[in-house]
Structure 1
Amino acid sequence: MRLTPLVIAASCLALAAPAAAQARPQPSVPPAAPGVSVPGGRYDHAVTLKFRAERGTTVRYTLDGSAPTRESRAYSPGRPLRITEDTNVTVVAFRGERASVPVAYGYLIKTKEKPLARFVVMSDVHVGDHKNNDKKYESFFDTIGSVFPHPDAILSNGDMINDNGDGKGPDHRIVSDIFQANLKRKGMTGTQVLMSNGNHDDSLAAIRAGYPKAWFPDSGGGYYESDVRGVHLLTVNTETYDRDTAQRAWLKSRLTALTTAPGASRKPVLVQGHRPTTGTTMDGQQAGNPGLAADLSAFPQAILFSGHSHLNNNDDRSMYQGDFTSVNDGSMSYVEVDHGYQMVTENGLADRFEAPTAQALFVEVYKDRTEIDRINMAADKHDIYTGGQWSASWQPPYASAGTLSGPGWTVRLKGSTNQQIKGNFRYTADRRNTVAPKFTTRKPLTTVRGAGGATALRVAQAKDDQLVHHYTVDITDTTTGTRAVSAKVLSDFYFMPRPNALDIPVTGAVAGHRYRAEVVAVDAYGNASRPVSLAFTG
């Protein structure tokens, strides 16, 4: 049973609007965002939702992560919306030509079965002050509390601060103060906090000095073992792993003992380490420590959680199984995508691979499986550059707090031998998704006038069973035979809600010239849609 409500400030503002203001809406002012009768969060039963909005408005909603439009399903006050499975519900209030800010609510629908242990797995906190982080982490812990009111453990998997060899080790005390204040505020008095060493954490001595000893109980090398309600966690120091023979011997010895004990061959052993291993999650971008991959290869019971790369966890390549299970945490400060793509920004296409989205994993270990849910702490659409300056310090309220960044993953250890367990893995390279995206609108390509009257190609987002990763966009000036645009454009899948269309500027379009655009939608595994095309005049 869910005990703690999810605080989504944007919707609370709508609920708290004075009655007089609701009774006398201003036609020129956008309506307030709708409120919801059951806050987002984790439930052990289906939930029935009612929406509250200003008088004279129509509430419309989506269940697929897209932003509602005037053509989306309308909510009827006499027909509550019943949610029976994990879902993001996005709502907008419309009044005439004006629309509210979209607000999204994430619902995890479970059963009454109780897990053995619950873990929140986060990484790349990168806290350096109170000013930019106090309110953020109040919101983040409110989101944690909406899913796990009393998590058994919070894993902070490296890069708690942002030291670059410049003496910022004392910033660990800021992280400690922020975490302790929020644990107390949320009543998480029994929650263990367990940290690993990252490349931006200064020194092991600085970590030890910054936190209670129970949060980093290493014996000198930055690695240690924990027991969380009978579930074993092995924390490794990926900054030294490959060259630390003592650490490698310790890990293999402990895994051998834990997995060969009577009845233990199908029990998971959690491992946290800051850097991912080679050839695992997200194709191993920014990975290292091949020795760690080699040492884990004999233990299909191991579930390795890693951060470091900031790679988003929306992408299903963030889960990988080969000889063991490897999972990408996401990032609590900002996320990245694999490089080589462009983003649509307020200033047009930009070579950009970062977005100010914060994410974490919520892990439940049961007797026969481990369930891993992906949750957004903040995924409102913003450009990570503002006024030409890079910044990930977006402040709450977040209209997307608590939304799901993708369907949950389930790890089952099935088989009587290690080889059988590996053979039953679900998220292996040879079982990857092969379904291609599809354009489903009648006119997927149109032209619009962008800023200053410039021509832009509007691409209506395609549909996919997982996510559309990017679009290949080729626009040719057929009058001159020259290429006007040739780009791989990211679909904005890391925002919630994701935009319904992307406006791609045709830079330097000449009035009167004829153009031909061809666009292909591509998912994370390279599955490509049929091309769609449009001829237009500049």
Structure 2
Amino acid sequence: MVFDKNFKPVLRFLVVSDVHYADDADCIERKRMTQALETAYKLSENEEYSKLDALYVVGDFSKRGSEAQMLSFKQTLDEYIKEGTDVTVSLASHEFMTDGEEEALKRFGRIFGMEPDTHKVINGYHFISVTSTNGCHFDEAKQAWVAAELKKAVADDPQRPIFFFQHPHIMGTVYGSANWGEDELTAILMNYPQIIDFSGHSHAPINDPRSIHQKHFTCLGTGTLSYFELDEFDKVYGTIPPNDDNAAQMLIVEADADMRVRIYPYDLITSNFFPFTWKIDSAWDVDSFLYTDARYKTTVAPYFEENAKITVSDITADGFKVTFDQAKYDSDYVDDYNVIVKDDKGITVRNSTVWSEYYFYNMPETISVSFDGLDAGKTYQVYVHANSFWKTRTEKPLVSDKIEL
């Protein structure tokens, strides 16, 4: 997949967050940030509209906001940003970790020569970026500033999208906002349906279809260039999945002269666009929204193909490993699996939930789960159910042969 060739942009910008530069100049995050910039330019230069008009970094660009980390990030920008690209960087909780918010803001101003809060107009579109206070909150002064700047932006053109950036998600919006969202700006932002909001903080994958959400306005998660974390708490490994550091995702955003917007999620690990584009044709009109909670009303469920296999190996006196083929889901991805062990009376004795690893562009063809602590001499059977993001479940589970310990 590439950019929509039928879409004629007059604006293109790159969005990243949660980059987490370390003190080590050779840290993987620095390499990924460099790759993000080089990739965005290369992709842009191959298009009829060849500009990359802006870069927005939505907080947590460093691990602790130290002098060395800020200097390293600034060095990357100085080396790889080309003429014609406007750069905006905001701060958040990680930038404040070295010696507090006040010192971090001074250091940021000295190194970057930027204000922490900005309102810019780029190619006719308003961009508002705000740095958080007290970690990832927004005090009354910040709220007042946001309200005033939005009032100015909407006065220019009430139907034109307003691109808005803050580090924490808005509570109750995109995937990740349940655990990593804040609500101090909600009452202000919901007065402006034309807002297209970008936020990070959670490290949730941007190819999760819940990473775009529309209700009062449009919200998008911005992922990470460092490591994944997810917003579900029933998984056997917690919220941080295996191989979590295999994470480098970014958003490329385009807008045209008719105020339509296209958003392209991109995977830097494999150098691929994810196979879908978010489309917003009338940001100001809530009745036109496509990515609402109505998506949960679907009856479409994952399914296992007829030739799907489940195998059992590594059998011991009290356990085994089960490996099964991934299920299919015709709309987007399978979210996760319930892997249930039942005894010979049909009683559930283990219930483990694991992700499908959908957050990797190259998903594995099979998933494996190990069990131990079972009773020797007993017989067991494994049932695997696949679940969608929209709370639908396979009608028929994948079932193993009987297992005798």
TM-score tier after normalising by the smaller chain length: 0.7 to 0.9
Indicate the residue corresponding to 1:158 in structure 2.
59
Alpha-carbon separation, structure 2, partners of 1:307 and 1:450? 43
1:132-184 deviation per Cα after TM superposition (whole angstroms, max 9, x unaligned): 24544443333323433441111111011111xxx72442011111222223x
Does 2:146 align with 1:256?
no
Alpha-carbon separation, structure 2, partners of 1:362 and 1:239? 27
1:5-29 deviation per Cα after TM superposition (whole angstroms, max 9, x unaligned): xxxxxxxxxxxxxxxxxxxxxxxxx
**What's the offset of the Cα at 1:523?**
1.1
Alpha-carbon separation, structure 2, partners of 1:245 and 1:135? 38
Cα pair 2:202 2:230 within 8 Å, conserved: no
Flag the structure with larger Rg: 1
1:397-438 deviation per Cα after TM superposition (whole angstroms, max 9, x unaligned): xxx1x2234521111217xxx6xx112211111244622111
Alpha-carbon separation, structure 1, partners of 2:140 and 2:58? 22
1:366-400 deviation per Cα after TM superposition (whole angstroms, max 9, x unaligned): 1231111111122xxxxxxxxxxxxxxxxxxxxx1
Indicate the residue corresponding to 1:353 in structure 2.
240
3-state secondary structure, aligned to 2:400: strand
Alpha-carbon separation, structure 2, partners of 1:451 and 1:115? 60
The residue type equivalent to 1:271 in the other structure is F
Alpha-carbon separation, structure 1, partners of 2:294 and 2:176? 14
Does 2:21 align with 1:127?
yes
Cα pair 2:261 2:280 within 8 Å, conserved: yes
Which residue among 65, 78, 82 is the counterpart of 1:180? 78
Alpha-carbon separation, structure 2, partners of 1:350 and 1:484? 19
Does 2:294 align with 1:404?
no
Alpha-carbon separation, structure 1, partners of 2:145 and 2:214? 23
3-state secondary structure, aligned to 1:333: coil
Q: TM-score, normalised by structure 2?
A: 0.86
Alpha-carbon separation, structure 1, partners of 2:137 and 2:351? 42
Q: Aligned pair in 2 of structure 1 residues 196, 451: CA closer, same or farther (>3 Å)?
A: farther
Does 2:307 align with 1:442?
yes
Alpha-carbon separation, structure 2, partners of 1:453 and 1:290? 48
The residue type equivalent to 2:266 in the other structure is I
Which residue among 239, 247, 252 is the counterpart of 1:362? 252
Q: Aligned pair in 2 of structure 1 residues 260, 142: CA closer, same or farther (>3 Å)?
A: closer
Give the % identical residues: 25
Does 2:288 align with 1:413?
no
Which residue among 62, 87, 95 is the counterpart of 1:193? 87
Alpha-carbon separation, structure 1, partners of 2:209 and 2:192? 23
3-state secondary structure, aligned to 1:142: helix
3-state secondary structure, aligned to 2:171: coil
**What's the offset of the Cα at 1:307?**
0.4
3-state secondary structure, aligned to 1:286: helix
Indicate the residue corresponding to 1:324 in structure 2.
217
Indicate the residue corresponding to 1:142 in structure 2.
38
After TM superposition, the structure 1 stretch with the greater mean CA deviation from structure 2, 153-162 or 139-148, is: 139-148
Which residue among 208, 225, 246 is the counterpart of 1:315? 208
Alpha-carbon separation, structure 2, partners of 1:404 and 1:362? 10
Q: Aligned pair in 2 of structure 1 residues 250, 443: CA closer, same or farther (>3 Å)?
A: closer
Does 2:299 align with 1:430?
no
Cα pair 1:437 1:462 within 8 Å, conserved: yes
Cα pair 2:198 2:221 within 8 Å, conserved: yes
Which residue among 89, 96, 107 is the counterpart of 1:206? 107
The residue type equivalent to 1:428 in the other structure is T
The residue type equivalent to 1:364 in the other structure is E
The residue type equivalent to 1:179 in the other structure is L
Cα pair 1:512 1:537 within 8 Å, conserved: no
Q: Aligned pair in 2 of structure 1 residues 492, 472: CA closer, same or farther (>3 Å)?
A: same
Which residue among 427, 446, 455 is the counterpart of 2:320? 455
Q: Aligned pair in 2 of structure 1 residues 117, 433: CA closer, same or farther (>3 Å)?
A: farther
Cα pair 1:447 1:456 within 8 Å, conserved: yes
Q: Aligned pair in 2 of structure 1 residues 450, 373: CA closer, same or farther (>3 Å)?
A: farther
Cα pair 1:161 1:201 within 8 Å, conserved: yes
Alpha-carbon separation, structure 1, partners of 2:325 and 2:182? 42
3-state secondary structure, aligned to 1:275: strand
Q: TM-score, normalised by structure 1?
A: 0.66
Indicate the residue corresponding to 2:335 in structure 1.
469
Alpha-carbon separation, structure 1, partners of 2:238 and 2:180? 22
Alpha-carbon separation, structure 1, partners of 2:317 and 2:367? 18
Alpha-carbon separation, structure 2, partners of 1:492 and 1:306? 22
**What's the offset of the Cα at 1:359?**
0.8
Aligned length, in residue pairs: 382
Cα pair 2:58 2:166 within 8 Å, conserved: yes
Indicate the residue corresponding to 1:71 in structure 2.
none
1:221-300 equivalences under 5 Å are 222-239=116-133, 244-261=139-156, 264-282=157-175, 284-300=177-193
After TM superposition, the structure 1 stretch with the greater mean CA deviation from structure 2, 280-289 or 201-210, is: 280-289
Indicate the residue corresponding to 1:111 in structure 2.
5
Alpha-carbon separation, structure 1, partners of 2:316 and 2:9? 53
Alpha-carbon separation, structure 2, partners of 1:238 and 1:405? 30
**What's the offset of the Cα at 1:320?**
0.8
Alpha-carbon separation, structure 2, partners of 1:230 and 1:131? 38
The residue type equivalent to 1:290 in the other structure is D
After TM superposition, the structure 1 stretch with the greater mean CA deviation from structure 2, 440-449 or 276-285, is: 440-449
Which residue among 66, 69, 81 is the counterpart of 1:168? 66
**What's the offset of the Cα at 1:122?**
0.2
Q: Aligned pair in 2 of structure 1 residues 534, 451: CA closer, same or farther (>3 Å)?
A: closer
Cα pair 2:132 2:138 within 8 Å, conserved: no
**What's the offset of the Cα at 1:520?**
1.0
Cα pair 2:177 2:202 within 8 Å, conserved: no
**What's the offset of the Cα at 1:478?**
2.0
